């Protein structure tokens, strides 16, 4: 077996030990913890690359889980953000730019009449669900298995597939995926598997008259880019109309990334409410909840409460104005999609030469890689599949200078800078080829052991 690649991580390891004294797991978010000896601390980022404090350079396909759609430290957006600083920050009052950004969003996304700003995707989805409940007067709601809608109690329910026996002809148990979630809330959350049209219709027949909303990510941003069929999303729209349920399309990750009009424009389905966040300001913290006028007017005195001291912050708002202009008026999204297709084709050539069966899910700007003939189209099939080859390959990729999520949950995110810096593709494919061969050797060694 060839020598394994190694990175110098002494400074990151030392920083981890120091950070551990003040930060749980030594990080500001649990998902940034990759183990005691592999958690890295970033020094800087530019374009499609980041550098850690040990000086290791990486082509980055996490992109902060998608926000850096143009690339890190984009000169155009950062210049706009600096002008936003001159406005003065937070006033708990409005500025003219709020209308300019809201108007741009409404012109880009068909079906949006009104917009409210938030600071994060989680906040936006929380507000969307509260809005739906206020508008309908109902409390329960429908989630699609494998969907991710942020870290708040109402959304943190999942199908416990790990302890599920398919042969018993029953659904997986619905469980919270964190401690600290009041179990009484489970009675309000109904879950359905993705792309099972009959189950969707049956669930509406049983609970539709009590549900305020159905939340769906048509491309699941925390489940490898698994994609809903057009028929499934259109049936969801039809059933929501039939039962007086509001359709919430969560575009926190897909919004302004997969298309100027978001994923909803690709499906030709107009939701009642939608949420956007990550890609809209190239990493500056801002989000929106938007939708039909009749629903959105429920925000207000005597209706659904909505606010926040830091909403529509002058810096984030200025960054969003410029980022959205670029995405709307330049070929940035085409550059991103073309690079994603080139990257997938390059990975496929490597895998095909070695006879490795594989497939992709999602969109060229955010795709999942599967080592199976067909990508799963629902959470249950993904969770019960064998993704050990991917996880091992990702482990080697980090040591070879390519960052993707350490496990197969997150898609590979692409930015405009990847397409401009052509060395990103060359460096990535060279690392993928080595990582695949090392993984094959690792699998063979385990068989012999």
Total domains in the fold of the chain: 2
Q: Are 366 and 219 in contact (CB under 8 A)?
A: yes
- pLDDT of 257-313, one tens digit each? 999 999 999 999 999 999 999 999 999 999 999 999 999 999 998 899 999 999 999
Q: Tell which of 297, 329, 361 closes a domain.
A: 329
- Other Cβ atoms closer than 10 A to 369: 26
* CATH classification of the domain holding 320: 3.40.640.10
Is there a single domain that holds both residue 85 and residue 208?
yes
Q: Is residue 188 part of a domain?
A: yes
- Quickly count: other Cβ atoms within 10 Å of residue 272's Cβ: 25
Report the pLDDT averaged over residues 42-60: 98
Q: How far is CA 202 from the centre of its chain?
A: 28
Which of 8, 20, 66 minimizes the C-alpha distance to 365?
66
- Pair 109, 174 in one domain: yes
Quick one: which H or E segment has residue 296? helix 293-296
CA angle 269, 285, 215 (to 5 degrees): 30
Q: Residue 368: beta bridge partners?
A: 361
pLDDT the model gives residue 446: 86
Q: Is residue 437 part of a domain?
A: yes
Considering the domain architecture, whether residues 205 and 297 belong to the same structural domain is answered as: yes
pLDDT, tens digit (0-9, with 9 covering 90-100), for 62-92: 999 999 999 999 999 999 999 999 999 999 9
Strand partners, 273: 248, 291
User: What residues have CB less than 8 Å from 197, skipping those under 6 apart?
Assistant: 231, 232, 235
Per-chain mean pLDDT for the chain: 96
Do residues 143 and 266 both lie within one domain? yes
Helix, strand, or coil here: 60? strand
- Give per-residue pLDDT as tens, 180-208: 999 999 999 999 999 999 999 999 999 99
Provide the token pair at 12: 């990151």
Q: Is the dihedral of CA 331, 337, 339, 341 positive or negative?
A: negative
Q: What is the pLDDT of residue 343?
A: 98
pLDDT digits (tens, 9 = 90+) for 90-120: 999 999 999 999 999 999 999 999 999 999 9
CB 69 within 8 Å of CB 63: yes
The whole model's pTM is what?
A: 0.97
Going by the DSSP 8-state scheme, the letter that residue 172 receives in this structure is: P
Q: In the beta sheet, which residues pair with residue 191?
A: 143
Confidence of residue 27 (pLDDT cuts 50, 70, 90): very high
- Do residues 289 and 116 lie in contact, with contact meaning Cβ atoms separated by under 8 Å? yes
Residues 81 and 64 grouped into a single domain: no
Q: Which of 329, 348, 376 is the last residue of a domain?
A: 329
Q: Return the number of other C-beta atoms located less than 10 Å from residue 201's C-beta.
A: 17
Examine the domain organization and report whether 260 and 162 are in the same domain: yes
Q: What is the CA radius of gyration of the chain?
A: 22
- The position carrying tokens 């995110």 is 413
CA 93 – CA 101 distance, rounded (Å): 16
Tally of CA atoms within 13 A in the half-sphere of 222 that contains its CB = 17
Confidence band, pLDDT 50/70/90 cuts, at residue 169: confident
Task: Select from 270, 299, 329 the last residue of a domain.
Answer: 329
Domain of 105 in residue numbering reads as 75-329
Can you tell me the distance from the alpha carbon of 362 to that of 368, in angstroms, rounded to the nearest whole number? 6
Residues 340 and 318 in one domain: no
Q: Say whether both 52 and 63 belong to one domain.
A: yes
- Whether residues 89 and 181 share a domain: the answer is yes
d(CA 27, CA 181): 22
Pick from 39, 45, 74: which is nearest to 57 by CA?
Answer: 45
């Amino acid at each position: 077996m060839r020598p394994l690649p190694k990175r110098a991580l002494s400074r990151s390891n030392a920083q981890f030990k120091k950070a551990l004294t003040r930060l749980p797991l030594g990080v500001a978010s649990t998902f940034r913890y990759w183990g005691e000896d592999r958690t890295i601390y970033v020094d800087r980022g530019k374009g499609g690359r980041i550098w850690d404090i040990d000086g290791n350079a990486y082509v980055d396909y996490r992109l902060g889980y998608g926000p850096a759609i143009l690339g890190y430290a984009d000169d155009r957006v950062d210049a706009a953000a600096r002008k936003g600083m001159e406005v003065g920050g937070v006033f708990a009052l409005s500025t003219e730019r709020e209308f300019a950004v809201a108007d741009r969003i409404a012109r880009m996304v068909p079906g949006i009449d009104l917009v409210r700003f938030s600071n994060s995707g989680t906040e936006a989805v929380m507000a969307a669900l509260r809005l739906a409940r206020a508008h309908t007067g109902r409390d329960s709601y429908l989630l699609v298995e494998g969907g991710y809608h942020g870290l708040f109690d109402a959304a943190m329910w999942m199908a416990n597939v790990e302890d599920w026996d398919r042969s018993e002809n029953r659904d997986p148990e619905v469980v919270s995926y964190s401690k600290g979630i009041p179990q009484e809330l489970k009675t309000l959350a109904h879950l359905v598997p993705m792309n099972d049209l009959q189950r969707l219709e049956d669930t509406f027949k049983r609970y539709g008259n009590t549900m305020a909303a159905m939340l769906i990510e048509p491309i699941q941003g925390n489940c490898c880019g698994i994609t809903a069929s057009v028929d499934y999303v259109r049936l969801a729209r039809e059933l929501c109309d039939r039962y007086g349920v509001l359709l919430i399309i969560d575009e926190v990750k897909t919004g302004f990334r997969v298309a100027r009009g978001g994923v909803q424009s690709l499906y030709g389905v107009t939701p009642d409410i939608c949420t956007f966040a990550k890609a809209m300001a190239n990493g500056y913290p801002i989000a929106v909840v938007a939708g039909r006028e009749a629903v959105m007017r429920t925000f207000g005195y005597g209706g659904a409460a909505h606010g926040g001291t830091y909403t529509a912050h002058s810096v984030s708002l200025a960054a969003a104005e410029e980022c959205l202009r670029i995405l709307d008026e330049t070929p940035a999204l085409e550059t991103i999609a073309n690079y994603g297709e080139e990257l997938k084709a390059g990975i496929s050539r490597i895998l095909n030469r070695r006879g490795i069966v594989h497939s992709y899910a999602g969109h060229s700007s955010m795709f999942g890689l599967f080592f199976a003939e067909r990508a799963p189209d629902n959470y249950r099939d993904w969770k019960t599949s064998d993704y050990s080859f991917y996880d091992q390959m990702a482990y080697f990729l980090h040591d070879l200078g390519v960052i993707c999520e350490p496990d197969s949950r997150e898609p590979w995110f692409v930015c405009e800078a990847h397409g401009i810096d052509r060395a990103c593709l060359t460096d990535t494919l060279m690392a993928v080829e080595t990582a695949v061969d090392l993984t094959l050797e690792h699998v063979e060694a385990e068989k012999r052991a």
